[in-house]
Amino acid sequence: MTAADFTDDLSELSTAEDFLEYFGVPFDPAVVQVNRLHILQRFHDYLAQAAEMPAEVKFRWQLHAELLTAAYQDFVTSNAQTEKVFRVFRMNEPRTVTVALTELTQQAVYAPAI
């Protein structure tokens, strides 16, 4: 397989099942049904974190297979709310907000008298 063949193959994959089958990752359809977008996003994140893509296609394919397996396994042992792949799951996390006392007192000047 050439690099161009590998790139063409990847461009034709569209579903989580397509990716899992292409890279030979055994999967439970029930896990994929519930977490398909999360698995693909985690796979994308893992690829982005990879230091460098191997030059040789067979090693590039192997790296993709390993990272996809890791992404899938994340959701076999956990769930979307715990993994928080997408921003929407991180939106309601507690945040620390600091408001200077001077800001509060400056605003109080404009408050109506009671």
- pLDDT above 80: residue 47: yes
> Percentage of the chain surpassing pLDDT 90?
42
- pLDDT above 70: residue 11: yes
Dihedral sign from CA coordinates of 53, 44, 32, 4: negative
- pLDDT above 60: residue 91: no
pLDDT tier at 36, thresholds 50, 70, 90? confident
pLDDT tier at 66, thresholds 50, 70, 90? very high
pLDDT tier at 101, thresholds 50, 70, 90? confident
Q: How is residue 82 annotated by DSSP?
A: H
Read off the pLDDT of each residue in 79-86 and give the average, rounded to a whole number.
Answer: 61
Report pTM: 0.69
* 81-to-21, 75, 95 alpha-carbon distances in Å: 26, 10, 18
